[in-house]
Amino acid sequence: MFFLIYNLISIVIFSPVVAYHLYRSVSRGRPPALAERFGFIPEAELSKIRSRPVIWLHAVSVGESIAARPLLKALRIRYPDHAILVSNTTETGRGTASAFPEKDLCIYFPFDFQPAVRRVLDSVQPELVIIMETEIWPNFTREAFSRNIPVILANGRISDHSYAGYLRFSWFFRHALRLFSRLCMQTETDCDRIIAIGAPAGRTLQTGNLKYDIPFRLMSQDEKQLLKESYSIPDGLLVLMAGSTHAGEEQLVIDAYRKLLPHLDGLFLILVPRHPERSAEVAALLQRSGLSFKRRTSAPYPDEFKKGEVLLVDTIGEMMSLYAISDVAIVGGSLVPTGGHNLLEPASLGVPSVFGPHMSNFREIAELVLHYGAGVQVDSPEGLTESCRALITSAELRQVLGQNGLKLIRDNGGATERYLKIIGEYL
């Protein structure tokens, strides 16, 4: 009865969903790819996975794609004769995943309309589906279940902010949760929460966080210098980077940067909005501030950057390279109530991080970063300025926090091997 009602509602909201998707894509200057989202995949693309058993991994956006990377690498090694398909929901996620050499095919995840789901499963015929984090789509899980295709929820988490909402609609989610073969959650708290929402306790287990399995190492000065040169940044400049920023955060970073400039010689800012389509908005903020800046898409530049200037990154897929050349990293999504972003990315490169109070989506990671002393949490614009000043003026402090970050990654890895053991039960 639930699925009948769900599909009747799906028919009613079909047009608004498509209209919203079209508006979102066009407003961001991106192709809507409606055919793929309705399950129509060109035969030329499907030929890349034909005649091989298929492992399908779904990662909604950029963060989930990056988190899945260690597992994708391990799957490629463990199952060389399988085809690996990666799907995404967002355009930025698709752009990130498309660059992964481990995958054979990258597609958009279908709308959760029954005909679209059936069409794509008929075309792909996966042997196993792995869904990153907490994506619950009733039609997709039900259709896979009816075809005896195991579906594993991987790296699952229920944030503080979303838990109450999930509980309120547990009558909706429990029908789909019961169809997962395994629900692999990051922490014991996440396990308790998803069981309370309706997941079967016997199929729910704590497996840790795949994000801790990212490669980690401190770059040599020679490597860092060469990478800086590729961005036209002189080696002598100290780089402050603000990564994955959201509306309201860029102004806070710009204000802090302007306050620091008169007192700190050789300071340079890299500003990376989470959504590149906001780059025009951020460029306007920089113009009003009087700061000299260049867009990443304007490269190559006629001259090297100078102290006090700004690199505005309006591209995707360069985050780790940019963290690698940074001396201090401000991690966005945390200075405004967005939920934060992944502090492990700078930590894995030995770069100290500064982040705000809004880390509900990364509560465990934020706690570990503070426990290990790999970053600094601030709760005000003044705190942001002063924490950046303390780190920029002390190479010794940066080194200590950077080494602590590397130790954090080293001590907390191992989730990938646990996943391979579970996946091996189904392949």
Cβ atoms of residues 92 and 66 within 8 Å? no
Q: What is the DSSP string of 340-355?
A: ---THHHHTTT--EEE
> How far apart are the C-alpha atoms of 66 and 364, rounded to whole Å?
18
Other beta carbons within 10 angstroms of residue 199's beta carbon come to 25
Cβ atoms of residues 10 and 112 within 8 Å? yes
How far is residue 401 from each of residues 238, 328, 330, 370, 395, measured CA to CA in Å? 16, 10, 14, 10, 10
Catalytic hit among 36, 43, 45, 64: 64
Residue 297 contacts by C-beta under 8 Å, 6 or more apart in sequence? 314, 315
How buried is residue 189: exposed, middle or buried, by Cβ count under 10 Å (0-12/13-18/19+)?
middle
Tokens at residue 413, please? 């890895």
Decide if 64 is catalytic. yes
Residues assigned a catalytic role: 64
